[in-house]
Structure 1
């Protein structure tokens, strides 16, 4: 007697939210002025102009006369920047508030019947508070006290994949499960006082944002197919967060795009990414009896980690010029919002006639995580 096939799982809807305070140009001016070497300063200015980012938003309040957080009266105005405790105090209030805005953007998918939510999965790596923001969100929404919660921390830019993959496992194992997935990141809380070019270029990428999704067995939105994960060898120090006395210091090596390009050129990772075996066919790894031909990828949801990373993915995979348009649009309008970014890209895919999509993100490790998807 054969094993019954596992049910299909769908990402039904996505809601997104960003704060209203655009801090991108203020940061560029602040960072450029801190670089003492004129040649490095000119290099920073050129790279900022070519970053493909027009806007990044922050939860930090607008200062007097509409000033930015680095202007007099702003959060970062003093010569000694705020300590980690002050930054986490902002996170404890602002992260749940922004997450609730993203959930509200889902519309009636959650608000019409919050009691139908059986599980909540929250991903965030830019702050800590206890009780966790999963409990704060559940209480604010009026979810049942029996709702099961999962908090995913410090996994960085691919945490949305981890969250959606976890939701998929839940729906496949719990009949009737309806999972609320939330990603919320407040990267602007971690400005570092440094004149060094590489960390300033890393900070140039990041902004604040939140996204929420409903995952269930209802055939609506995007079907989440087989996930994949691969940690790249000899790359552990290329992306790193270090917790210090003045926030979390982001380390994003300039070697990351090249390392990604080399990894994507390898046959084993390409096979994992595209779901292809040596015979050109693929199988859902959760159901070995289901074998089918793999159609060409017609939808790419790649984490918008930066222009150079998107360029590396496009070149390494030989993608058409417009294949990463959704990712580039998110980068241009919001910057890199860590775990929330991929959700913003996927939100642009819902409603498109995608037969074989690939979601892909890179983060600390250096690791590549993703899943295949298709329109319901």
Structure 2
């Protein structure tokens, strides 16, 4: 399907829709039950206190498996990555820039295949990553790797963290709705190598990241006025909102240093999200007439930053136990893969909806897509489920 086919019947520009999803992962699969021994072996550390702490964290994160770029071959080639206090930013970026591009290409190809259109039909590219830094950016390398036209309009979102996937959806929605006939490819790609460090008593919080985060890529095709003969819309992106909470800049604190990315999440982060999530969701719900407290009449696609955040949201909104199943499944299977994870959540949402339809179970047309990132920034989209 070329661009000439997409340009038909655009006199009335509709809401942006999700037309296809795709994902990709590195080859290293990590089982949570083996992570502790492997991590301490790879970093040549044998501190019983830190080892016991990581073992506890691995149980509380609810993660079972995730994928990582890090491998024995990489550590053999770059042993300095496991040495405390070593300047390794050059080496990390050398690994990360190549890895995130390759994963983004694979996820995008999977998405394009499901969409069913041609490369010539892609008019815009939005690329999201907190795992690379270079000029030109990864958006250009992704476009080149896919074979997109040099006229494809590109935008790059750097270091948006866990909210990056939904932020990318918001940007893609704006592009699709303001450029008749456009088809926007959103790609996200992340690897934890940018922040990989040996365990340290001076940095006990780093173990949270070791127990929680994973690598991978995601891709979404977005466009308005879908051509129903050839395209299959999955979600309508009705209304998008971004909001930051004043004076919370240090609650998610990340810095690019000589040793890679160093970050710290405040202990009170889940509580801060709980205290503010209700008002934020009410704004989005009110757009289509939902009343306050009608949260269980919606579906919920929430970026799973961690089990504590999901638990706090569930508690504050008094959600039924199954409402966050897709988020919990994504966390269990892939860990927190930063900006990518919302793609995995949406895939599980589609799977659950089709199962409900097949079993004649109750299903909901409207729902919220949510993520929380540095700022603290809330990203939210009121969405309509179009799966059938």
Q: TM-score, normalised by structure 2?
A: 0.82
Contact 1:168 1:224 in 2 (8 A): yes
1:59-138 to 2 correspondence within 5 Å?
Answer: 59-63=69-73, 76-78=81-83, 83-109=88-114, 112-138=117-143
Displacement of 1:34 after TM fit?
5.6
Contact 1:188 1:207 in 2 (8 A): no
**2:25 maps to what in 1?**
18
Question: Alignment length, in residue pairs?
Answer: 353
Moved more, 353-362 or 8-17: 353-362
SS in 2 for 1:226: strand
Contact 2:161 2:374 in 1 (8 A): yes
Contact 1:198 1:254 in 2 (8 A): no
**1:285 maps to what in 2?**
none
Q: Distance in 2 between matches of 1:35 and 1:299?
A: 45
Moved more, 54-63 or 222-231: 54-63
Q: Distance in 1 between matches of 2:244 and 2:84?
A: 40
Q: Distance in 2 between matches of 1:6 and 1:111?
A: 22
Contact 1:110 1:117 in 2 (8 A): no
List alignment gaps of at least 5 residues for structure 2.
1-10, 354-362
Partner of residue 220 from structure 2, selected from 196, 210, 213: 213
Moved more, 223-232 or 27-36: 27-36
1:291-306 to 2 correspondence within 5 Å?
Answer: 297-306=297-306
- The structure-2 alpha-carbon separation of the partners of 1:82 and 1:22, relative to structure 1 and needing over 3 Å to count, comes to farther
List alignment gaps of at least 5 residues for structure 1.
64-68, 283-293
- The structure-2 alpha-carbon separation of the partners of 1:75 and 1:49, relative to structure 1 and needing over 3 Å to count, comes to farther
Q: Distance in 2 between matches of 1:101 and 1:313?
A: 33
1:127-206 to 2 correspondence within 5 Å?
Answer: 127-193=132-198, 194-195=200-201, 196-206=203-213
**1:360 maps to what in 2?**
370
Displacement of 1:109 after TM fit?
4.5
**1:28 maps to what in 2?**
36
Q: Distance in 1 between matches of 2:80 and 2:29?
A: 14
Q: TM-score, normalised by structure 1?
A: 0.85
